[in-house]
Structure 1
C-alpha cells in the first residue's frame, strides 16, 4: 500500500481486496468484466488515488456480491472523498469494522490500556463477562459479539505472519475482578502464556509509578509496512465512538508517549513476575 495512505482510503482498499478474494476473482477477470483498463483496477487496489468515483465502487460491490451494509459503507467513503470531507472515521459500535480491518493488516501494534486487558489478549470468559455487563445488549447480540472478538484474535495473532504486539497494561486492568476471581486467574495465566510468544511483549504499569506520560489516555498505534510515522495511524476509543489521528505530529507524539510509558512500566520480566504473583 502507498506510504502515508489516509485511514479511509486504506480501509477502502483492504475491503475491496477482501471482497474480490471472497468472490474468487482475479484482477484480470474483474477489469475485463467491467470493461476497465488493467491499470485502473491496479491503481485502485494499490490505493494510488486521491478521490474515487462512487459508481466504480458500486460496480465492484455488485460484481463481488458484497453484503448490502458493506457496499453502502464503501460507496459512502467514495462519495465523501469527492466532497473533501475529513478522511478520519467516526462510528458507533463495540467492534467497529474499520478498526478490525486495519488491525488485521498492521505489522506492529502498540497499545496502552487502563481499565481493561487489551482486546487481543482477552480470554473467552473475560470477554463474556464484559459483554454480560454491557448496557443495551441482548443475549444473542452478546454471543455474536463474543464470536466476532475471538475471530478477531485469530485473524491477527494466528495468521502466518502475526504483527509485533507491544502492550502496556495498567495495574488496574489486571486487578479488577472482571467475571470473578476464577475468570481473572485464567486471564492472568493467558497473559503470561501470550507473553512467551516471540512477537508479544507485555508490560504492567504499576500503581507505584504514580503520574505517567499516558495518564488518562488509552490509545492504540497501528503501523504498516516499515512502521514509519508516515505509514501509521493512532486510534482513540471512547464508549460511544472512536477516531483516528493521521498527522505525523500526532503519531510522533503518541509514539513518544508510548515510549515514556514503557519506561515507567515494569520490564517484561518484572511484569511476568508481577502477574505470577497475582495467581500464586
Structure 2
C-alpha cells in the first residue's frame, strides 16, 4: 500500500524525485523542455513545487524520457501526483492560515518551536487566540471566529494514534502580555494541563529573570519527519510573510539556537511549578 502524504509534503517529494530522475539521466532543464516541447520554466516549476495544476500526462512523458520503466516505481510517482493535487482541510481557511506551513506541520513527527512574544499556536486556548487576532481583524467577528476555528483544528494532530512530539519554549513575557486576567488564567492552566497530561508535549518557560537570553527577538519552528527522505524544515514568519528553510547547514544553525534557548529556559520539571506560581501572583 502506498504511503499517504499531505498535499504539501506530497508536492515536495514529487518535485525532489523529478529533479533526481532528470539528473540521473544527465539532462538539463533545457534538454527536457526541448524533448517535451514545453517551456524551460514549466520544468523548473515542476521541480520546485511552484505550480497550481499538474497533469499526469506530462509526468508520464517525463518518466518515459527519464527511462523509468518499472511499473511499481511509476505507480508510486503517479500516486504522489494525485496526493499533491488534493486540497488539505486547511485550504478553506486561507488567507489567515499559512497553507504550506500547516501541510508541513500536519506531516511532521517532531515539532520544536520557540516564540518570544506569543504562545505557540498549537498551545493556544480559543479565548487567547480570539483576543490575539481580534487586534488585527477588528470588529469582523466572522473572520475572527474562522481563524480561531482553524487554529483549534490544527490541534487534532495530537489525537492521532501516533501524534507528533512537540517541544515548545515560550517567554514568560508572552503570558504577561495578556491583559484579560480570565484569559490569562485559562491559558496558563491549559499549558500546565498539556505539560502534565500529554506525554508527547514538553513545555519550557524562559523567565523574565533570564535577562538577555539567546532567543530574544526570534520566532521559529523546526519540523522533522520520520522518513529520512523528507528533509527537516525551518519555518519563519517575517512581517507577515512565510519563509521555509531546508538547507542542512542553516537547519543545523537553528537547531543549535534552539538548544541554546533550552539552556536559558527553565527545565521542563521546573517550568510546570513556575507556571503554577504565576497563577498565584496577585492581580
Residue 243 of structure 2 aligns to a residue whose secondary structure is strand
Which sections of structure 2, spanning at least 5 residues, go unmatched? 1-6, 15-55, 62-70
Distance in 2 between residues matched to 1:220 and 1:239, nearest whole Å: 16
Structure 1 length-normalised TM: 0.69
Look up the match of 1:3: none
Distance in 2 between residues matched to 1:136 and 1:44, nearest whole Å: 45
Ranked by relative contact order (alpha carbons within 8 Å, sequence separation 6 or more), the top structure is 1
Distance 1:227 1:115, change over 3 A: farther
Alignment partner of 2:73 out of 18, 34, 39:
39
Distance in 2 between residues matched to 1:183 and 1:9, nearest whole Å: 34
Distance 1:224 1:151, change over 3 A: same
Moved over 3 A (4+): 34-39
Cα distance, 1:209 vs structure 2 = 1.3
CA contact (8 A) 2:115 2:169 kept: yes
Distance 1:44 1:249, change over 3 A: farther
1:274 aligned onto 2:274: yes
Distance 1:226 1:273, change over 3 A: farther
Alignment partner of 2:140 out of 138, 141, 146:
138
Distance 1:174 1:40, change over 3 A: same
CA contact (8 A) 2:170 2:205 kept: yes
CA contact (8 A) 1:108 1:163 kept: yes
Cα distance, 1:142 vs structure 2 = 1.3
Distance 1:129 1:38, change over 3 A: same
Cα distance, 1:238 vs structure 2 = 2.6
Residue 118 of structure 2 aligns to a residue whose secondary structure is coil
CA contact (8 A) 2:109 2:164 kept: yes
Look up the match of 1:164: 165
Equivalent residues in 2 for 1:48-197 (5 A)?
61=85, 93-135=95-137, 138-154=140-156, 156-178=157-179, 180-196=180-196, 197=198
CA deviations 1:237-276 (Å, max 9, x no partner) are: 1342111011111110100000110011001121111100
Cα distance, 1:160 vs structure 2 = 1.6
Cα distance, 1:44 vs structure 2 = 4.3
Look up the match of 1:223: 224
Distance in 2 between residues matched to 1:14 and 1:128, nearest whole Å: 35
C-alpha RMSD of matched pairs (Å)? 3.2
Which sections of structure 1, spanning at least 5 residues, go unmatched? 1-7, 16-30, 47-55, 71-91
Look up the match of 1:19: none
Aligned length: 218
CA contact (8 A) 1:11 1:102 kept: no
CA deviations 1:193-251 (Å, max 9, x no partner) are: 000121111000112112222221110000001679x7211000134211101111111
Q: Considering only CA atoms, is the larger Rg found in Structure 1 or Structure 2?
A: 2
CA deviations 1:38-89 (Å, max 9, x no partner) are: 533412445xxxxxxxxx77xx85xx7x69x97xxxxxxxxxxxxxxxxxxx
Structure 2 length-normalised TM: 0.68
